[in-house]
Chains A and B, each alone.
Chain A
């Protein structure tokens, strides 16, 4: 079995995880949540297997590079990072319900990677610019950051749901965690994501210096990653220094994640050095 086949199958496991998590909220069934957790763990393991297998395949094809070099591979890693960070949160805070807002994002990333005909799942050799040890550090840190922000986005959406529902005892949203916990968790993942985004930008910068002699060149992808960084910096300062909580923080977190998405996908339609992020076909 090839890595692409495994990863295609895993896409459906992600769908199952998302389905059962949502089911457990809608029908208030704890058992469905447990199935969701099992599916999420299975998906994470399968996802990791796919990544490792792909790495081995690239060696068999005589290229031998980490599977982090194009849009397909980054999406696969993105989904993996989302689900792993989520599972850690689930274990730590014992709240399965968050899964209903997060696993759909991991599923979306995998589905986009597997089903979009413009995204090639072929293993291709590295162009000279990508042949650097910084590639691995840069992509991993960036995508752990993006994944944390994705979870922050899921939590923020959850916050807005909960805040609207108020304290109606009949609402299914009543099972959602306390509003303060959602707020605090959002803050935690944003801090985590911010640390990794910073490391991602820095590793990219050091790489750019070793490849082009400029650690910063204001190319659109760089600039958009900085814009994203600014937005989350605003969130952190508003929360810590101005005491903002709740809805306003949730909204900034949503805007921040939209900036992440634009940095990731939108920038490919602008001119710049990061063009190898596109389809790759």
Chain B
């Protein structure tokens, strides 16, 4: 690429290839276009779903091209790698020249160049050259960083040079650096970090998680215990908050404790634990009402699934055995239903169905007791995302440098102005012109503004 003369040195040819801005544009274009694929084809889905959606032929084709996990494919990574090499080579290639401009002690100015500028503006004054020079100098010194006065070539006056924003030319290199930091941080994260998830029922603990997009499990250096899980809802039914009370244990001893919600994770030993999802596990405890058919006496009893309780007036036991989210009765859905067994001391055991929504359902059994559900506590499991990313510091540094770098590159232009004060006949002519590394229209305005200010002083 580029118009390099045919060179025999392969390294030089390669260097020229990577120093080309055309390569940058082509790479960015390829990255932009190929990135679209991964937004249209869902990534890392179930192969069976892909087969159904695309058919055998396209499935094989897409699979061969790694399109089901394209952002981690070898060719996408290669493109990113080429871009990094391109950025580094381009920056090195151009930094030298920029460095000379930015750090030169005594910058050279060429008055002829300013005379030819289209933004050059002139006005006349009655004052003498030296008088004007003395009046202008303080303003110029205030508005610009470097300034210097030279006699002009015609010998009838002086040129006042000034400049500012030299360092703005370095902005683009910091942006390039930031991009490299982002990709470096990404590599560190994927090499030395992990990203997994685990579901923990309330009251239980685990130290093993499943890794995302990999068929692998990972043992953590500590145990996560979910002490409690709460979910609250708005009146509209939309979820308001998911909250898990977590305790981290090391050899059985608590080392950290926190209630986590979405957007507020628990961080410990470089590992972060995020509230990601939730699920229901069936009931934790149920409050039952026992009604004596003869006396109409009512008793409330709390029962835990699997644990028998005594009947209110004695004479038997009752146990809640099962819970169904949607039970069927005469092929009709009767909703959430508890199933239990009543064992009288003087008779055979009876099966009891207790639909939550139909408290009178058990009357059909015609037993001594009518049992119904008053209320029950749901038992949840919390879905946690567990991740470790040692590259985040590098990435965040890249973020900050990128924002500062973009600002400097775009909005700190390197501006140079030349104010020529020359005596002609009985008038003094003042000519103002300026060059800039950014924003030519802005420079035109700046020249006009400067002229307005100088006119007031003249």
Contact = CB atoms under 8 A, between A and B. Distances in A.
A88 interface: no
B262 A211 contact: yes
Nearest to A242: B21
Most-contacted residue by chain A among B28, B239, B410, B441 (CB, 10 A): B441
A256 to B, nearest CB: 10
Contact of A195 (B24, B236, B406): B406
B292 to A, nearest CB: 45
Nearest to A185: B441
Contacts of A207: 263
B265 A195 contact: no
| Residue in A92, A209, A238 with the greatest tally of chain B CB atoms within 10 Å | A209
A218 B389 CA distance: 16
B97 interface: no
A233 B399 contact: no
Interface stretch (B38-46, B305-313, B322-330, B353-361): B38-46
Contact of B274 (A92, A192, A213, A223): A213
B441 A125 contact: no
Interface in B298-324: none
Nearest to B406: A195
Contacts of B262: 128-129, 131, 211
Given A132-B263, A184-B439, A205-B399, A241 B272 contact: no
A151 B264 CA distance: 37
Size range of the chain B interface in the assembly:
35 or more
Nearest to A267: B39
Which of A93, A187, A234: most chain B Cβ within 10 A? A234
B407 interface: yes
Contacts of A218: 38, 43, 71
Nearest to B175: A198
Contact of B410 (A194, A206, A212, A267): A194
A247 B2 CA distance: 23
A212 B403 contact: no
Given A188-B439, A213-B387, A199 B403 contact: yes
A213 B385 contact: yes
A210 interface: yes
Nearest to B29: A234
A216 interface: yes
Contact of A230 (B31, B396, B411): B31
B238 A124 contact: yes
B32 A211 contact: no
Contact of A128 (B22, B239, B395): B239
A23 interface: no
B37 to A, nearest CB: 10
B101 to A, nearest CB: 16
B88 to A, nearest CB: 16
B374 to A, nearest CB: 30
Contacts of A180: 440-441
Contact of A202 (B22, B39, B186, B403): B403
B36 interface: yes
Given A185-B441, A233-B28, A212 B276 contact: yes
Contacts of B236: 124-125
A237 interface: yes
Contact of A127 (B186, B238, B399, B407): B238
A214 interface: yes
A112 interface: no
Interface in A209-239: 209-216, 218, 220, 223-224, 226-227, 230-231, 233-234, 237-238
A135 to B, nearest CB: 9
Interface string B26-57: 00110110011011101100000000000000
B274 A212 contact: yes
A233 B31 CA distance: 12
Given A184-B440, A214-B387, A234 B32 contact: yes
B192 interface: no
B242 interface: yes
Given A129-B262, A213-B265, 19 more contacts: A128-B240, A128-B263, A128-B275, A131-B262, A131-B263, A181-B441, A188-B439, A188-B442, A191-B410, A191-B411, A195-B411, A202-B399, A209-B392, A214-B389, A215-B392, A218-B38, A226-B35, A227-B32, A237-B25
Per CB-CB distance, the 3 closest pairs between chain A and chain B, nearest first, are: A213-B387, A128-B262, A220-B39
7 contacts: A184-B440, A185-B441, A187-B439, A194-B406, A214-B387, A223-B35, A242-B21
